[in-house]
Structure formats: structure tokens, C-alpha cells
Chains A and B, each alone.
Chain A
Amino acid sequence: MKQNIVKLAILFFAAYGVLVGFLTYWQVAKSDALMEHPRNRRLALRERRIQRGGIYDRHGQPIAQSQFVNGEQRRVYTDPPAVAHLVGYVSERYGRVGLEGRLDRYLSGMSRDEWLLELQDRIFNRQRRGNDAFLTIDLNVQRRAAAALAGRRGAVVALQPQTGEVLALVSAPSYDPAQINAMWDALQRDRRTPLLNRATLGLYPPGSTFKVVTLCAALENNVVKPDETFRCLGATGFGAYTVHEPNGRAHGRVNLTKALVVSCNVTFSQLAVRVGQVNFQNLAREFGLDGNIAFDLPMTTSSLLRQGSTMTTSILAQSGFGQGEIVVTPMQMALIAATIANDGVMMQPYLIKQIRSPEGEILMTRLPQPLRQAVQVGTAREAKAMMTRVVSDGTTRRIMASLGVRVAAKTGTAQNPHGKPHAWYIAFAPADKPTIAVAVVVENAGAGSAVAAPVARDVIAAWRKETG
């Protein structure tokens, strides 16, 4: 009988051993997979207890921070509508969007292999905190840009040409990310699409601002003789297609600089055709069109042609002055301005500068990274000089005068099928040693010189004030 007891006991001990085996399978081997199962609420619950890290601007000013209110975390924004598209939102219902999504791994503080930290925090009864993100953004510039766009639909992107750091990234209309759950349905219904980040996702015909690209193409390919002049009779024909100046106004005899200053469509359509479709497309690609530019936020690809379309002479002619089938994002235009400002070197644009642990330890730092020499230094400098004349001799001279610094720029008034033209302005300043490049688009607002230029001026002014 006793032998049987021993055997029975061994049977049970063995069975318990198998139980431990199963436990190990679920608690160790499959633990991560189960924790990440969409129906498992544990990660979300655990995350709620960790104070989400803050997002700060380049000077350490808070943009978004989390606070505990009655045991529940609230995200507090310094200027909610001004930073909404930049930081995005955190919602248990609608997900994490924008930088909140991109940086979630850091901000949530939920990285793996931190169990020891967690244990320490628990022993010392410390509030566990996520990591902080420091952006390249200058919050004052950002807010000024947002204020300048207030009540309009459009976007502003400001870059530092030498580094590719994004100084401001604004889209209007905006929303309050703190109210995302309450406002969701209204925001979804709103025809002005306030949730869309126009700065990186909005596609617009660039209009005359694209003439700087045509200009660079002409200079790079040596299709213009020195001192060559062009005759503008208010219209010019390319086969069956005729290019018209707005209001049919003839610019008369113009050199290249003058053509840019008066924004002569006839001259630039001729230049594009002279350059030829292959060279024109190649140069546009050098500036980033038709290609993917990696960025910290989702970005739409700007393109010369519609999907499946081919470049005909008439489309090429229109492309020369930024119409045709070209669509670009405001970020793309800011990159073009910054590249010219930076002697033709295109820098990788970036928003996330540094990630620091709650203790201040630097977990990640980004450094400026050149992408490519998009155009030769000489070309860039010539274009820069001509863009400077656009301001000093052109329609926006008065607007920029208050800056007290020489500005290089190009206006745009982009025809589009949705009503009044979009107002565009790309600029950089100071012209001789640029520290900021800006692209502004205001939807259906008319002339770029009247509507978009003041916005760019405000942004430049704010940045000049920051940098002294």
C-alpha cells in the first residue's frame, strides 16, 4: 500500500511540475505577445500609471506635459491649437497621432528591460515617468506663425537652412488636442478638415514659387546666355497650348532677374521647355519631388505629374511656372527655399532633437545630416541673389521692410479648381547669411504677395527676435 502512496505522490508532483511548465510558457515565453494582444487592456492600464513624458521646444519650453488630476492623467498643452498638428493627440479611443504616436515608445516610458527601474521606483515610491522629448521647434516662432494664420486655411513651415531643423510647423484650421474625444465627431464632420496636417500632408499647386526651381534648372543646364533678355508679349504659344500672363499683361523685355521679380509666366514656361523634360524632372527630383523624404511626421510625396500622366510640352511649359500637374506640400517648398539658402545643400529636415530620461540622461540625440547637393553652389547663389531682388524690387518690399534685414523670397498665386487662387510665399533671411527659411500657403486667399508674405514676415520677425 505504501509503495502505491509513494507512486501516487510522485504522480502528483510530476503533474505539478507540468503545471509550472505551462505557467512558464504563458508567463515568460508568451508574456510579451499576450501583453500586446489588442484585447488585453493591461498595457494601457499600466501606462496610465506612468506619467507620460513631456514634449519641449528647442529652449526647453514645455509644449505638452502630463499632469495627474484626481489620479487621472491629463495632457496639458501650452498653446493647444498652435501645436495641435505638431504634437498630435493621445486618445484611448482614437489612438496616438503625430509626434505623440511617433515618440510613444519614449514618452510612455514603457520600454522593455526596465523592470529594474520599475522595481526601484516602486521601492522608493517614486512616480514613474516617461522620457521627455526635445524638439527643434521654437515655440515662440510656432505660436507667432499660428497667430498669423488664425482664421485662415493654410500652413507654415519654417526650417533652419544649415541644419534642417524645423523651427515651426503650423497647419490651420486647428483643434484642441486636449478635447479630441469630446470634439471628435464635430472635427470629423468639419468641411475645413481641421484634423488634416496641411504642412506635411496637404498638396497644393505651388504656383509661381516653383519658378525658383525652373530658374535653378535653367542655370544648372546653362540654357540662358549671360545678359540674355526675353520678350514678354503677355502670352506665348507651345503648339496648341498658349501661356497667358494673369490679366494678359505684357512684361515687355526682361532679363532673368526681372523675369523672376515680375514673375513672368511667359519667360519661365520658355525656360522649362528649353531645359527639356528630362533635365527639368531630374532637377525637381534633386529638390525632393517624386521621392520620399524621410521625416518625423507622415509626409505626402510632392510630384510633378499626376499618376499615370506623361510630360508633354504643354504640361512642361505650365510646370515652368508651377501650374500644370505639379502638387507640393508646404514642407517641400520650405525645403526648396532652405536648400537654395544653404548653397544648394539639402539638409535632412527633422523635428526630434533629443530624448532625455526623467533623470536627464540623454537617450537619443539627432545631429544635422546633409542629404545631397541638390544644385551647384554657384546656381544656388545666383538664385539667392535674384530672390533677394524679388523682395527689394518687388511687391513685397514694403511688407518686409519692417524686418530691417535683407530677405530673399518668391511669391506665388496658385490657380486651382477650388475657387480663388492659393496664396504662396517662400522666403529666407537674412539673404546673405540665412538662418531661417519659410514656406507659407494660405488656401483660396488670392495673391501671395498680399496674404502669404505678411505671415512669412511675422515668422521671420519672431525668429529674429529669438536669435537677436
Chain B
Amino acid sequence: MRSASALRQGSDWSLLSCAVVIGLGAFALVHLTRTTSWDNALLVPLVGMAGFVAVELYLTRRKIHHDPLLLPLVALLVGLGLALLYHVKPQVLGQQAISLLLGLVTLAATCHLRDVRALTRYKYTLMLLGIALLLLVIFAGHPLGAREVRLGIRVGAFSFQPSELVRILLVIFLAGFLAEKREVLAYGARGGWQLSRADMRYLGPMMVLWGLVMLLLIRQQDLGMALLFFGIFLAMLYLAGARAVYLIIGITAFALGAYLAYRLFPHVRTRFDIWLNPWADIDNKGYQIVQSLFALSGGGLLGAGLGQGGAHRVPAVHTDLIFAAAAEELGLLGATAILLVFALIAYRGYRIACRARDDVSVLMAGGLTTALALQVLIIVGGVVKMTPLTGVTLPFMSYGGSSLISNFLLIGLLLVISGESPMRR
């Protein structure tokens, strides 16, 4: 297994070069198709890809051990994302470039963290911060994105979407919390299916979270984030080895809440009905999903070509629905390749979790990976009409600073965990 240890040791420059070349090439292709060219635009991928190389160099120099695949995979997604953005909404490229650099800095800084358990020491503080941020959004947020849903808070000139950060805070909190209470969760005070008073103590956070999720669902119509938070929670409970009864309570509670929301709140019902039949109201409610499906059809097997699709008609295509543009321009093969890249990232993430040295790291790596993988599933599922379309970003590809930076933070944490312990062999 020399090759495996070599792979794990250092940086894989050939992979990163591939990603850089693909990213730059894709961007150049789009540039060639544009009639009104903006030559400075070429700086965006150049600087962005140089950023990845710089970070990789930095990590190598500092002898920070890390997973060699994650950065190249992320670079590939970012490169394609920039190329797609250049076609569907070139005016946001500059901002995306700044966010990208901030994200890379965040990642590099995160990698200095030698031990993620340092974070779990502040788990309650972090969770309270997360809850505070969410409440702030729920009660004082301002509209963000095309759907006029209050998702953001404004700090000076910057708009910030806290839920992107909160999902990471949630993972950190749960990793610390669940690692502490594993025994009880797994076997219970009395064991089996019976719940004791002791169990109630651990069900508490679950209920708080359920309440928050319901608030998100009802007040914000943010079905996507609600789904994501609850999914992360359930997945981490499962990873921690919680008894089936916890999982069943969790799923039932969420299903019940969703059903009640469907019965009681027209906007939730509308969203569900659009999913079932978007063709009934093509011009208004069903417009987004129908346009998304049109974009998919335009791609076919091989795609319309980079910079060639008509996906710019899809509302929010530069943020949540960028996958529709990717599927149109790169076709079924390209879209599948992107899903494969996400699957590879998930594979590396779960692999890191498997090899992590203690419960906190295992849970955190597993949780972070789940957060990423589930978010991809939620938004792509919506784009292909597998599930109701709910607004979450596609990691590393969608336009959006909060999303990009927090995902770099997520990858940074995974890299830290991957470097925590050399392979035990």
C-alpha cells in the first residue's frame, strides 16, 4: 500500500492541474461564445485557480497533512461554476471572485486548527450563536434572492445568509453533544424501546431543533434549509448509533410537522402542488420548475455546449438552480460527471470520518459530509423534479458569498480532521 500512503501524504499536483486546466478551459470557451466580451473577466478564473494552487502550496510548505483529493475536486466545481456564471449572469462574477478568495483564505486559516475538539469545547456557545442568527433572520431578515423570502441579514453593505453558517455550527454542536451522550443514546437508561426520564434530557435538543425547523418552514418558507437541518440531525443521530426509537421519533415528528404545514399554510401547499404538476401554471407558479425542465431538455445527452444554452431564462439560475444550467450546457454526461464529483467528495468525507481518531472527529466529519451531500441532493432533486423545489445553493457552484465561504470552511474542517492522525498501519 505504498501508493495509498503516498496519496495520503502530500499534495497531488497532477489532479489539481487537471482541475485548473478544465476550469480555465471551460471559462475560455464561454468567453469565446460571448459577443460582448469583457476582457477583465478572464482574470476571475485565473486569480481563482491561482488561489487554489497557492493554498495547496501553502499547505505543503507548512507540512499540514490533508486529504489530497478534496481540493482538486472543489477546484473543478468552482472552475465550472465560474464558467457557468459567466454565461448566465456575468455581472456577479466580480463578487463571486472576492467570495472565492475569502473562502480560500478561510480554508487556509481553518487548516491551522490542529484539533477540531477545540471547537466542541464551545459547542453550546456556538449553538446559541447559531440559534440567535436564525432567530434574527426569522424576525428581522430581509429578502434575498428571487423568491422574496427573508433569508439574509444585512451587515453594513454586506448581505449575509446565516443559515449557510448555521448548518456548520449545528454539526459542530451535535458532534460534541452526541459524542458525550453516545452511551445513553445508544443503549438508553433501560434499553430497548422504552423511554426513561433520562432519555427526555437528550430528546430536548431534538425538540428545540424541531421547533426551529418548523419556524423556518412556516415563517420563511425555507423548506430546503429546514430539510437540511433536520436531515443533518437525523444522520448524526444515526452515526452516533442512536437507538431506532430516536430516529423514528425524529422522522415522525418531521413528517407530522410537514403534513400540518401542508394542511395549514397555503404557501407550503402551493409549493407541493407545483411539484406535482408544474404544467398547470406555467407562467406563474410553475414557471421556475418548467423552465428548469426545459433547460434539462435542451442539454440532451451531450449538452448544448458551454456558453450555448438558454438556461439564463430560468429564475435564480445563478444561485439555486445553477445545476439546470450545468445540465443544459454539459448534457446528461456532464451533469452526471458533476454529481460524480460531489459523490467523490462525499466518499472522501466519509472516508475521513471512518479513519478519524475519536468520536468527536468521526461525528464531525460524518456530519459535515452529510451536510454537503444532503444539500446537493436537496437542490438537484428539486431541479430534476424528484422532490419539491426548495431553495438551497449548490455548493461551490452557485453564486453567493455565504454559501461559498461556509463551504470552504466545511472543507477546511474536513481537511483538518483528515490530517489529525496519520494512517494507523
Contacts and interface: CB of A to CB of B under 8 A. Distances in A.
Interface of A: 1-2, 4-6, 8-9, 12-13, 15-16, 18-20, 22-28, 30-35, 37, 39-42, 45, 71, 115, 119, 122
B342 A16 contact: yes
B378 to A, nearest CB: 10
B209 interface: no
A123 to B, nearest CB: 11
Contact of B239 (A1, A41, A119): A1
A150 B186 CA distance: 95
B301 interface: yes
10 contacts: A1-B240, A5-B239, A9-B346, A16-B343, A19-B384, A23-B327, A26-B297, A27-B335, A42-B310, A115-B302
B294 A28 contact: no
A6 B373 CA distance: 14
A6 B377 contact: no
Contact of B359 (A1, A30, A41): A1
A2 to B, nearest CB: 5
Given A23-B296, A26-B384, A28-B300, 18 more contacts: A2-B354, A5-B350, A5-B353, A8-B370, A9-B350, A16-B342, A16-B376, A19-B377, A19-B381, A23-B332, A24-B332, A27-B331, A27-B335, A37-B294, A39-B290, A41-B310, A115-B300, A115-B302
A84 to B, nearest CB: 32
Contacts of B290: 39
A42 B384 contact: no
Contacts of A119: 302
A8 B239 contact: yes
Shortest 10 CB-CB distances between A and B: which pairs?
A: A34-B297, A22-B384, A26-B296, A9-B350, A27-B332, A40-B294, A31-B297, A42-B298, A12-B373, A22-B386
Contacts of A33: 297
Nearest to B363: A1
Interface of B: 35, 235, 238-241, 282, 290, 293-294, 296-302, 305, 310, 313, 327, 331-332, 335-336, 339, 342-343, 346-347, 350, 353-354, 359, 362, 366, 370, 373-374, 376-377, 380-381, 384-386
A41 to B, nearest CB: 7
Given A23-B332, A27-B301, A8 B350 contact: yes
Contacts of B241: 1, 4
A20 B339 contact: yes
A23 B362 contact: no
B346 A12 contact: yes
Given A28-B300, A35-B298, A23 B354 contact: no
A13 B343 contact: yes
A42 B324 CA distance: 14
A19 B35 contact: no
A41 B298 CA distance: 10
B13 to A, nearest CB: 27
Nearest to A7: B238
Contacts of A2: 354, 362
B322 to A, nearest CB: 15
Nearest to B297: A34
Contact of B377 (A16, A42, A115): A16
Contacts of B332: 23-24, 27-28
B255 to A, nearest CB: 18
B58 to A, nearest CB: 30
Contacts of A24: 332
Nearest to A24: B332
B366 A12 contact: no
A213 B112 CA distance: 102
Nearest to A25: B384
Nearest to B347: A9
A163 to B, nearest CB: 43
Contacts of B346: 9, 12-13
B235 A8 contact: yes
A34 B300 CA distance: 11
A162 B71 CA distance: 76
A45 B295 CA distance: 13
A4 B237 CA distance: 10
A20 B335 CA distance: 8
A368 to B, nearest CB: 41
B366 to A, nearest CB: 5
Nearest to A45: B310
B230 to A, nearest CB: 15
B239 A4 contact: yes
Most buried by B among A6, A24, A39, A42: A42
A27 B327 contact: yes
Given A23-B332, A41-B313, A5 B300 contact: no
B226 to A, nearest CB: 18
Contact of A5 (B35, B342, B354, B377): B354
Nearest to B235: A8
A5 B364 CA distance: 12
A34 B376 CA distance: 25
Contacts of A1: 239-241, 359, 362
Contacts of A41: 310, 313
B297 A30 contact: yes
A210 to B, nearest CB: 53
A8 B231 CA distance: 12
B296 A8 contact: no
Nearest to B343: A16
Nearest to B373: A12
A154 to B, nearest CB: 45
B239 A40 contact: no
A28 B374 CA distance: 25
Contacts of B282: 39
Contacts of B238: 4, 8
B408 to A, nearest CB: 21
B362 A5 contact: yes
Contact of B299 (A25, A27, A71): A27
Contacts of B336: 20, 23
B239 to A, nearest CB: 5
